[in-house]
Chains A and B, each alone.
Chain A
Amino acid sequence: MKIFRLPISILMGLFLFGMASASVIAQGSTPPPPDGEVREVTDNEVNSIAREVYCPVCESTPLDVCQTQACADWRDLIRTKLENGETRQDVYDYFAEQYGGRVLATPPREGLNLLLWIMPVAAVIIGGFFFSRFMKNLRMAGGDGKEDEIETVETAVVPPSSSPIPQSDDEYIAQVERELSK
C-alpha cells in the first residue's frame, strides 16, 4: 500500500523542485553601476528594461516593440534615466509609482497582486490535497490488498461486450503486452 503513494509525492516533489528552478530563470542581467555622470546608453540596455514594461494604452504589447509615439517617449525616458545613472530597479519603481503597478510585466508583489503568487501554489496544494483524498477513496473502493502481486493483461479482464476494439486489435495489444512483460 505504502509504495503506491509514490506517484503523487513524486509529482509534488517535482513540482516544488520545478518551482525553485523556474525562479532561477527569472533573474535578468545586472544593472549598470551609477557613476554620477552622463554616460553612453545603448539601445540594448534600454530594450532590456523596456521589454518588462507595458504602457497602459497599448496593453499586451511590451514597451520595447511598441510602435506608438507614447511608447517611444517612454523609451527615451528610460534612456535619460539610465544616462543619469539610475538602475533598472529605479526605472521600474518610477514607472510603477507614476502609472501604477499594471505597467510592469511582473507587477509589484503587494496588495491584491500577491494573489498572483499565492493562487498557483495554493491551487496545486489544495487541489492536490483533495485530489489525493479522492484517489485514496477510489483506491479503498477497489482495494483487494493484492496489488503488488497480480499483474493483469488488459485483454484478459475487459469483457468483449464493453470494448469496441476488434479482435485483431486485442490480439495485437496482447502481443505487445507479452513483449512488454519479457
Chain B
Amino acid sequence: MKIKNATGLVVPLLSILLAFIIGGIIMAALGANPLEAMQYLIKGSFGTVNALGNTLNKATPLIYCGLCACFAYKCGVFNLGGEGQFLCGAMTACVVALLLGEKGVEGWLICLLCLILGTIAGGIWGFIPGILKITRGQNEMIISIMLNYVATLFMGVIYTNWMRDASVPQTLQVPQADRLGRIFPRLRFTWGFAIAVAVGILMWIFLFKTSAGFKIRAVGYNMTASRFNGFPVKKLMFVSFIVSGAVAGLGGAAELMGTQFRLINGFGAGYGFDGVAMALIGQLNPLATILVAVFFAALRVGSTSMQAATGVPTSVSDIIQALVIIFTVAGLALVKLPEFEAFRLRLTSGKKEA
C-alpha cells in the first residue's frame, strides 16, 4: 500500500546490487573469481562466530556516527561534524580515565562517568556550529567540518604531547577495570554495541513516537509549515545539533572504553563521513541506519578474509560502499521526479488494462 516505503527499500537494495555487480567486475578485472571472492567476503563477516563478533564490533562506532548524522538531518540541519564530536567524546573519556587511573580510581563507575562526560563533550562540540547557525545564520557544514580538524589536532596534542606514552606517539591504555566488557565472552563486541543499538531504538522511538520527535521531523521536512503551525523552529534545530553531537560523543567514549583503549594516530578517522553515508542510505531512519552500519562493517571485516583467500584487495569493499551511496542518493532523487511518477503510473495502469 505504501509506495514510499517500497521505493525506500527497493532503491538502496538495487543500489547495493548494482554496486556489487560493479565490484564483481573490478574483482574479475583484478584476476579473481568474483563469486568466490564474495563468498569469502560473506564468510569473513558473518561466517563464523568470531567473524560475527568482529563485524558487530566494527559496526559499533559506525552506528553511533550514523545515528549522529541521522538525528541532525532529520531536523534539517547538516551536521558534518560527527567525527569531531566522536573524537571529543573519546578524548574526554580517555583523559578522565587516565587521570583517575593514575590516582588509582577505577572500576565500572568510572566507565559510566567516562561515557557520560564523553556524551557531554560531544554535545558541546555540536553546540558550537548549532549556536552559530541559529544566531549568525552560519553555514553549519563548513563550521562543523573545520571543528573536525580542530578536534583531530587536539587529539594529536594529547597523544603526542600531554599524555604521551614514553617514546611512542600514543597515550597509555585506560585501566582494565574501566573498560566496557564483552557481552558474550566469545564474541568480540562489547556493551558499546548494545548501547549503540539501544540509542538507535530510543532515537527511533523518540523521533516517531513522541510529540517532541514529531516536531523535529516536521521541521526537517518543511520549515515554513512548521513555523506557521507554531513550532519553535530555531530552538528545535539547535537542540538537535546538540543531541546529534552528544550521540557521536557517546560513540567516541564507547569506542575508546570498549575497543581502542587509547588515543592514537588515525583514531576515528573517516567515521564522520561514513556516518553521513549510512544515514543517507538508511534514509534517516535510525533502525535502518543501524542495519546499514552493520552492512558497512561486514564489508570491511569480510574484505580482510577476502584478501587473504583470493588476493582481492580490501579496498574493493571501500569502492562498493562508495558506489552504494552514489547510487542510492541518485536513485532516491530519481524516484521523486514527476516524470518517474508518471512513468510508474503508466506502468501500473498498463498492468490493470492488460
Co-complex (A, B): no
